Structure 1
Amino acid sequence: MQYHLNGFRAGDPELHPAAREQGEVPEVLDVLIVGCGPAGLTLAAYLAGFPEITTRIVERKAGPLERGQADGISCRSMEMFQAYGFADKVMAQGYDVRETTFWKPDAEDPSRITRNGWIPDVEEGLSEMPHMILNQARVHDMYLEVMEKSPSRLVPDYALQLVDLVVDDGAEEYPVTVTLERCDPGREGERVVLRARYVVGCDGARSQVRRAIGRELVGDSANHAWGVMDVLCNTDFPDIRRKSLIQSAEEGTLLIIPREGGYLVRFYIEVDKLNEGERVKSRNIQVEDLIGAAQRILRPYALDVKDVVWWSVYEIGQRLTDKFDDAEGDVLPHVFIAGDACHTHSPKAGQGMNVSMGDAFNLGWKLVSVLTGRAAPDLLRSYSEERQAVAQDLIDFDREWSRIISERPEGAGGDAPRFQEAFIKNGRYTAGMSVTYPPSALTGGAAHQGLARGFAIGARFHSAPVVRLADSKPIHLGHVIGVAARWTIFAFAPEEDRGLPGGAIAGLCDFLGSAGSPVLRVTPEGADPDAVIDLRAVFAAGVHDLAYEEMPEGLKPRKGRFGLMDHEKIFGTDPARDIYAMRGIDRAEGALVIVRPDQYVAHVLPTGDHAGLAAFFEGVFLSAR
């Protein structure tokens, strides 16, 4: 963590100096976020770091979430949490999923279950981050803390619900008029009218924002009812502290998800098949029914539930909107939807909260880029284009996974159940690593992919260990990417390059300091040199074979009001885990790996392709000069 840039700061370094204090909801603002779910808070925490952008988030409930709902945090979401600065806190408080066990009917007595095997929950080397389980409310708390400590001092406006939204495409500055209604005691029915540049609906499956822009969730139900409960219990089932998928002969399927704290556990219980058109509420299922079903599925093991912390019953269904914004034809978007407002599915694949947060992480840096004048408003079209395709993949996966997990066993004996095979096959998907954005203005072509085979263009940047030259500190390279809406150029030097004049890295630094530099073109006057595009260099040598004093000045930028040198831009290889070997970097040629603010690889270019570098950023940014 870097701080003291503009003077010594005592106390908590995560508490930023306040740019302003939050007052009553203003009449005009840049971004209004509706809904304090995972998508809304992900976006709010991102925008809170930019006090020049006036942001507010409203929630119809009286206060923060306390319990229940989602709990699975994918490896990819943990990588994102690292950018926000609270991944370590999630790892300390949550349940770290290491193994998944599989159970099926015993061949000799199908009324009993028997363990069929176990596998690592996450493929080795897929991410430096684990798969975690933590109450969604705690994740919310961590986002809220980021917001409260931000320069904006952003806190939600609770007990405010949206009742009307109108877009005037002819209005230049604040085209969206929103009417909110207070729900707090003593002020019920009071209305607040405001105008905004952009509105983002993160207000769930019954989204008022979605309805206001004429979008509709389309899909169907799989006619299956499932129950979920968080309980404190005693049992002799040996895998109660392992993630377990259990398929009984006659009583249905059970998923066990150990929860944080060492005692709490979640059960997903297959309850019943619904008739065509039937709704689950007509069955009047009670928590005692869920407990009984779990006890029958677990035979011969006993289950004694001591306390039910939270429970619910739901129908499996997959629904999706055709677009995630209000854009039509040549009209640019001003209203967006994210999370359950635009895609709903079953919770058993553990992707609902994760994909919702991914929506907001994608939209956040794009809103910042447009509102700060870095990019043209056309950039905002890419949100729906990229994330609607991701949600469609999720729907397709969830439909197939829900079908497989509800199938009856083909027989008591034999090989691994089909759901075990499907779990292994889809491991990269459930870890959140399946998203790959297609070529666009934000994602280049694959002509030079061979220079960095392990950094697939369009996929998330797969971090690997390096050692910082200035202080010999081992770090993960991807952890330098924060939530500052900055692009990153990772310059991997050819093997013989040590940063000296005449080498590829020195030549790159010379170019980026010249009149044709894309960095100079997009960086506002007076801003730090890395405010918009951050250059980092990695050398194919250990730090003791490199000389910091001989490195190009472009890798030692002066920043802040004192012009202090940033010493954290240069890295050598970790002798035990060579990033060049791990990520397929061409040692002879090196590579330029351009990474978007949301941690996805935008392009791979030769180290000497300065024209290609400039041309790529020409398609992304407006000139700041």
Structure 2
Amino acid sequence: MQFHHHGYVSGDPRVRPAAGVGINRPAELPDEVDVLIIGTGPAGMLTAAQLSQFPNVTTRIVERRAGRLAIGQADGIQARSVETFQAFGFAERIIAEAYAITEMAFWKPDAADPSRIIRTARTQDDPAGISEFPHLIVNQARVLDYFAEYMANSPTRMSPDYGFEFRSLSVSDEGEYPVTVTLLQTSGPNEGQERVVHAKYVVGADGARSKVRESIGCTLAGDQANHAWGVMDALAVTDFPDIRTKCAIQSGTGGSILLIPREGGHLFRMYVDLGEVDPNDKGAVRNTTIEEIIGKANEILHPYTLDVRNIAWHSVYEVGHRLTDRFDDVLPDERGTRTPRVFIAGDACHTHSAKAGQGMNVSMQDGFNLAWKLGHVLEGRSPESLLSTYSAERQVVAKNLIDFDKEWSTLMAKKPEEFENPSELEDFYVSTAEFPAGFMTQYAPSMLVAAADHQELATGFTVGKRFKSAPVVRVGDTNPVHLGHHATADGRWRIYVFADTALPGATSSTEEFAEWLASSPQSPLAATPSGADPDAWFDVKVVYQQGHPSIDFGAVPGVFKPQVGPFKLADYEKVYATDPAADIFELRGLDRGGVLVVVRPDQYVANVLPLTATAELGAFFAPLLPERKAAAVLSAATEP
């Protein structure tokens, strides 16, 4: 964490000075906003949290409830989400209070007595080490609390506007605020009154029954599996030995349980198989009582017993897999003729079972993908065409999720005798580990993702996939750190310069690239506004191949140690060396001749280039940035 560069900070450094629209932020919902977000679920709150870092963008998020969520239905936090929490500054704190999944146990009928269940296998949760972060279980409400805290401490001092329910919207072709939104006040002194807000953009994160989705003519299409599950968060006394281990339990009498221990050491969640549902059921299965769910759980767990002492929450649901064909308000025949004004995210555009633990996680990545793009467009960093990439990128991800969930939920609903291979369920769990962990997403080439023409230079940083962190040593203070953990959710692009074999100061491709980056009108840094810190839009870091004792910090090019803040202080946290215990060049397949890795603000690799490919780098950013400024201004700002 960096602070003091604007003067001494004596309080909590996470509370950043108010700036822009955060100065004297009106308590009441204004009549005109840049972005209006509907719904304070995971997708909406992450979208708001990211936009809270853009001081000149007026963002408000409304919620029909009168206050914060007390009990959330979602609880699984995949490792990719924890990586994202690191960017928002609360990964360590949420890890400390969460339950960490390290293994999964599989229970099946005893061949000698099928009325009894026995443990047949254990599998590691992340046997390949695909992330340094754990797989967590923590209540959705706590995740939202952390995002709310982040927003409140941001320059914009953002906080949700509770007690407003979305009613309708209309989009005009004219005016600075072309989206007119009608809200109904659901609490407070003006309860029952309508309120009209005009916005430049609207984000509908209002759940599976989304009215925003309906207002732009989108419908969820898919299938209903006609299979019901009872879910309960419970406190109980039991002799089942794996009550604190994630378990897939299949009984010989029919039915199965997915057991997920919860945070706090005592609470657990059970998804209890209630069996097939008659298509003409008309929702009657949803009237299944908690006593019936507990009874079914005891039947499946035999010979073990479950004495439930307290229920924190329970529900009954039927598995359904549905997806919208677009995530914005631009109709197929309008593509290329206009840019979107209304977006939907999370359950508003994709629904599936809860047992794969993907709903909250994928929803948050929807918000991460969209929010920085809105911020860049509204601040004039990028053209409006950038916004069309949201639906194109995220719709594919949601389709892949639903295909995965169909297979997983089908396997979970099978009876033991229906499996051709007795280990089919655990084999599927192990073989697909990368997907539920959140690391299979790979964005296709677009204006934001280059073709992988130079992928062989960095085989461990796949173009279109998330930037996979690795250990390095920070030269300035000799601290071992994880390179990716310093990419905060600040809306900046990252350019990682993995140096060639030369040391700083020697003639090399690294030195020539640094000179071009600092002085060329074609450099992306040349688009940085006059008067802003030289790293305001681009966070440039260099990693040398040698150990830190060999690096002369004074000889490092100035573009890698920019002068920031009103006092023009050198930034000492952008220069790295290899960690002798884990060489990043070896770990990530980096070419020893040097390589550039360009990473988007949402942590996905956008381009891999040789150090000499300055023309390609300039051409990649040209359509994403305003016209470059005079190089001399930037060069003066980055003098060592």
Same fold (TM over 0.5): yes
Does the 8 A contact of 1:103 with 1:115 survive in 2?
A: yes
Q: Answer yes or no: is 1:525 the counterpart of 2:519.
A: no
* CA distance in structure 1 between the aligned counterparts of 2:421 and 2:227, rounded to whole angstroms: 26
Greater Cα shift, 127-136 or 418-427: 418-427
Give the SS at the match of 2:219.
coil
Give the SS at the match of 1:110.
strand
| Superimposed CA distance per residue, residues 255-307 of structure 1 (whole angstroms, 9 cap, x where no aligned partner) | 11011011111101111210124344355201111111111111111211111
Where does structure 1 lack aligned partners over 5 or more consecutive residues?
A: none
Does the 8 A contact of 1:22 with 1:154 survive in 2?
A: no
Q: Which amino acid aligns with 1:334?
A: R
Match of residue 480, structure 1, among 479, 486, 505:
486
User: What's the CA shift for 1:225?
Assistant: 0.3
Match of residue 249, structure 2, among 240, 246, 249:
246
Counterpart residue number, 1:228: 231
User: What's the CA shift for 1:619?
Assistant: 2.8
* CA distance in structure 1 between the aligned counterparts of 2:72 and 2:175, rounded to whole angstroms: 42
* CA distance in structure 1 between the aligned counterparts of 2:286 and 2:596, rounded to whole angstroms: 59
User: What's the CA shift for 1:119?
Assistant: 1.0
| Superimposed CA distance per residue, residues 399-439 of structure 1 (whole angstroms, 9 cap, x where no aligned partner) | 11111111111279x96432111111211111011100011
Q: 1:446 to 1:411 in 2, by over 3 A?
A: closer
Counterpart residue number, 1:537: 542
* CA distance in structure 1 between the aligned counterparts of 2:522 and 2:482, rounded to whole angstroms: 28
Q: 1:562 to 1:383 in 2, by over 3 A?
A: same
Q: 1:176 to 1:411 in 2, by over 3 A?
A: closer
Q: Answer yes or no: is 1:403 the counterpart of 2:410.
A: yes
Match of residue 371, structure 2, among 343, 347, 364:
364
Counterpart residue number, 1:2: 2
Match of residue 447, structure 1, among 450, 453, 465:
453
User: What's the CA shift for 1:361?
Assistant: 0.3
Does the 8 A contact of 2:47 with 2:370 survive in 1?
A: yes
Counterpart residue number, 1:83: 87
Does the 8 A contact of 2:210 with 2:348 survive in 1?
A: yes
1:258-407 correspondence to structure 2 within 5 Å: 258-282=261-285, 284-328=287-331, 329=334, 330-407=337-414
Greater Cα shift, 399-408 or 595-604: 399-408
Give the SS at the match of 1:116.
strand
- Output the TM-score relative to the length of structure 1: 0.97
Does the 8 A contact of 1:280 with 1:315 survive in 2?
A: no
* CA distance in structure 2 between the aligned counterparts of 1:198 and 1:624, rounded to whole angstroms: 27
- Output the TM-score relative to the length of structure 2: 0.95
* CA distance in structure 2 between the aligned counterparts of 1:185 and 1:580, rounded to whole angstroms: 58
Match of residue 137, structure 1, among 141, 149, 156:
141
* CA distance in structure 2 between the aligned counterparts of 1:256 and 1:366, rounded to whole angstroms: 38
| Superimposed CA distance per residue, residues 305-355 of structure 1 (whole angstroms, 9 cap, x where no aligned partner) | 111111010010001111000013112100000000000110000000000
| Superimposed CA distance per residue, residues 190-228 of structure 1 (whole angstroms, 9 cap, x where no aligned partner) | 121111000000000111111111111111100000011
Does the 8 A contact of 2:357 with 2:436 survive in 1?
A: yes
User: What's the CA shift for 1:49?
Assistant: 1.5
Counterpart residue number, 2:97: 93
User: What's the CA shift for 1:185?
Assistant: 4.6
Give the SS at the match of 2:391.
helix
Give the SS at the match of 2:122.
strand
Q: 1:279 to 1:621 in 2, by over 3 A?
A: farther
Q: Answer yes or no: is 1:466 the counterpart of 2:472.
A: yes
Does the 8 A contact of 2:53 with 2:491 survive in 1?
A: no
User: What's the CA shift for 1:578?
Assistant: 1.0
* CA distance in structure 1 between the aligned counterparts of 2:343 and 2:386, rounded to whole angstroms: 13
Does the 8 A contact of 2:228 with 2:285 survive in 1?
A: no
Match of residue 581, structure 1, among 579, 586, 601:
586
Does the 8 A contact of 1:524 with 1:624 survive in 2?
A: no
Q: Which amino acid aligns with 2:206?
A: D
Q: 1:289 to 1:558 in 2, by over 3 A?
A: same
* CA distance in structure 1 between the aligned counterparts of 2:280 and 2:327, rounded to whole angstroms: 28
Q: Answer yes or no: is 1:165 the counterpart of 2:150.
A: no
* CA distance in structure 2 between the aligned counterparts of 1:281 and 1:536, rounded to whole angstroms: 59
Does the 8 A contact of 2:103 with 2:122 survive in 1?
A: yes
* CA distance in structure 2 between the aligned counterparts of 1:290 and 1:422, rounded to whole angstroms: 27
Give the SS at the match of 2:624.
coil
* CA distance in structure 2 between the aligned counterparts of 1:386 and 1:441, rounded to whole angstroms: 11
Greater Cα shift, 185-194 or 355-364: 185-194
Does the 8 A contact of 1:22 with 1:152 survive in 2?
A: no
Counterpart residue number, 1:425: 431
Counterpart residue number, 1:191: 194
| Superimposed CA distance per residue, residues 145-190 of structure 1 (whole angstroms, 9 cap, x where no aligned partner) | 001111111111111011120000x214111001111011542221
Match of residue 159, structure 2, among 146, 155, 158:
155
User: What's the CA shift for 1:502?
Assistant: 1.5
Does the 8 A contact of 1:75 with 1:127 survive in 2?
A: yes
User: What's the CA shift for 1:546?
Assistant: 1.3
* CA distance in structure 1 between the aligned counterparts of 2:179 and 2:5, rounded to whole angstroms: 38
Counterpart residue number, 2:180: 177
Where does structure 2 lack aligned partners over 5 or more consecutive residues?
A: 630-640
Does the 8 A contact of 1:465 with 1:477 survive in 2?
A: yes
Match of residue 202, structure 1, among 200, 205, 215:
205
Counterpart residue number, 2:13: 13
| Superimposed CA distance per residue, residues 527-577 of structure 1 (whole angstroms, 9 cap, x where no aligned partner) | 111111111001111101211111111111001111111001110111111
Match of residue 444, structure 2, among 438, 444, 453:
438
User: What's the CA shift for 1:356?
Assistant: 0.2
Q: Answer yes or no: is 1:118 the counterpart of 2:122.
A: yes
Does the 8 A contact of 1:231 with 1:264 survive in 2?
A: yes
Q: 1:77 to 1:29 in 2, by over 3 A?
A: same
Give the SS at the match of 2:14.
coil
| Superimposed CA distance per residue, residues 592-616 of structure 1 (whole angstroms, 9 cap, x where no aligned partner) | 0000000000010001111111111
Does the 8 A contact of 1:280 with 1:314 survive in 2?
A: no
Match of residue 598, structure 2, among 564, 582, 594:
594
Aligned residues, how many? 621
Give the SS at the match of 1:429.
coil
Greater Cα shift, 40-49 or 500-509: 500-509
Match of residue 560, structure 2, among 555, 559, 563:
555
Give the SS at the match of 1:513.
helix
1:35-114 correspondence to structure 2 within 5 Å: 35-114=39-118
Q: 1:31 to 1:373 in 2, by over 3 A?
A: same
- Moved beyond 3 Å, runs of 4+: 279-283, 414-417
Does the 8 A contact of 1:518 with 1:618 survive in 2?
A: no
Match of residue 509, structure 1, among 509, 514, 517:
514
Does the 8 A contact of 2:460 with 2:587 survive in 1?
A: yes
Q: Answer yes or no: is 1:24 the counterpart of 2:50.
A: no
Q: Which amino acid aligns with 2:6?
A: N
Q: 1:22 to 1:95 in 2, by over 3 A?
A: farther
| Superimposed CA distance per residue, residues 423-481 of structure 1 (whole angstroms, 9 cap, x where no aligned partner) | 11211111011100011111111111000000000000010000000001111111121
Greater Cα shift, 345-354 or 13-22: 13-22
Q: Which amino acid aligns with 1:575?
A: P
Counterpart residue number, 2:638: none
Match of residue 605, structure 1, among 609, 617, 622:
609
Counterpart residue number, 1:620: 624
Give the SS at the match of 2:434.
helix
Q: Answer yes or no: is 1:491 the counterpart of 2:491.
A: no
User: What's the CA shift for 1:519?
Assistant: 2.8
Q: 1:10 to 1:223 in 2, by over 3 A?
A: same
Does the 8 A contact of 1:274 with 1:280 survive in 2?
A: no
Q: Which amino acid aligns with 1:462?
A: K
Greater Cα shift, 309-318 or 118-127: 118-127
